[in-house]
Amino acid sequence: MSKFKSKKEKDTPAISTASLPDIVFMLLFFFMVTTVMREVDLKVKLSSPEASEVKKLENKSLVSYVYIGAPLDEKKFGTTPRIQLNDAFASVEDIRPYIETKRSEVDEQLIPKLTTSLKVDVETEMGIVTDVKQELRKVNALKLNYSTRERLR
C-alpha cells in the first residue's frame, strides 16, 4: 500500500516541448507544399451548379479560367452578368488576347492540351455563355470544362 502512495506523491515531470517546433515545422512544410495561392480576386458572384458526371480538372497550369456572373458590387456595375478574366472585367473581344497570352506561356507541344474552364454562376442566362463559346471556337480553344460541384448520383 505504502509503495503506491509514495509514488503518487512524486511530482509529475514536465512534458518536454523540445519536439514541438519539429512537429509544427512538419505541418508547415506540408501546407507550404500543398498550398495553391488563389489565382484571382473574384469580382463576380459565383455559385457553381451541381453535376454528377464530373471529371477532375488536371494540370492546373494548363487551364485558363473564364468567370461569368453578376458583379458583386451591384451599385457600381449593375446586375447584368459580366465576364471576368484575370483580375478585371472584360468583354467578349478580350478573350482572344487572353487565350493567346496563355498559349505563349506554355510549351508548343502542350498547346492542344490547354483547357478553358468556364466558371459560371447558376443564375446566368445562356446568351453570354454562348457568346464566349463562339469566341473560343474562333480562337480554336476547343477543350472546355464547365466547372461544377460534385454531386453523388
Distance from the Cα of residue 48 to its chain's centroid: 12
Q: How far is CA 146 from CA 15, 51, 58, 66, 93, in A?
A: 53, 10, 14, 10, 20
Does position 62 interact with another protein (CB under 8 A)? The reply is: no
**7 versus 122: smaller Cβ distance to another protein:** 122
Residue with C-alpha cell 519536439?
A: 19
Q: Which string of DSSP letters, residue by residue, matches 99-124? A: HHHHHHHS-GGGGGG-EEEEEE-TT-
Does position 13 interact with another protein (CB under 8 A)? The reply is: no
128: Cβ contacts below 8 Å, ≥ 6 apart: 68, 81, 83
**63 versus 83: smaller Cβ distance to another protein:** 63
Q: Which position among 79, 80, 101, 130 is part of the footprint of another protein (CB under 8 A)?
A: 130
Cell of 113: 492540351
Q: Which position among 60, 78, 100, 101 is part of the footprint of another protein (CB under 8 A)?
A: 60
Does position 111 interact with another protein (CB under 8 A)? The reply is: no
Residue with C-alpha cell 498559349?
A: 103
Does position 120 interact with another protein (CB under 8 A)? The reply is: yes
Number of residues that bind another protein (CB under 8 A): 53
The footprint of another protein (CB under 8 A) covers 17, 20-21, 24-25, 27-28, 31-32, 34-38, 49, 51-57, 60, 63, 115, 117-118, 120-127, 129-130, 133, 136-138, 140-150, 153
